[in-house]
Amino acid sequence: MPKPRPEPYNACLRWLRDSGRSGWRPDGIVEWPIAALTGTDVNVLFAVDRLWALMANADNRSEVLHAIALTVRQMQPQLRGMARELAARQLDWSDRARYWPAVERYMHDADIEAAGPGDVAKAVVLLATTKGSP
- From 51, 80, 72, select the one nearest 63 (Cα to Cα): 51
Could you tell me if residue 99 is inside a domain? yes
Residue type present at position 25: R
How large is the C-alpha radius of gyration of the chain?
16
Could you tell me if residue 72 is inside a domain? yes
- From 83, 58, 61, select the one nearest 72 (Cα to Cα): 83
pTM value > 0.75 = no
Q: How many Cα neighbours within 13 Å face the side chain of 90?
A: 23
Could you tell me if residue 116 is inside a domain? yes
Q: What domain range is 109 assigned to?
A: 7-130
Low-confidence ranges of the chain (pLDDT < 50): 117-134
Report pLDDT for 98. 92
Q: Are 62 and 134 in contact (CB under 8 A)?
A: yes
Could you give the CA distance from residue 55 to residue 84 in angstroms, rounded to a whole number?
Answer: 13
Could you tell me if residue 1 is inside a domain? no
Could you tell me if residue 2 is inside a domain? no
Report pLDDT for 13. 78
- Total domains in the fold of the chain: 1
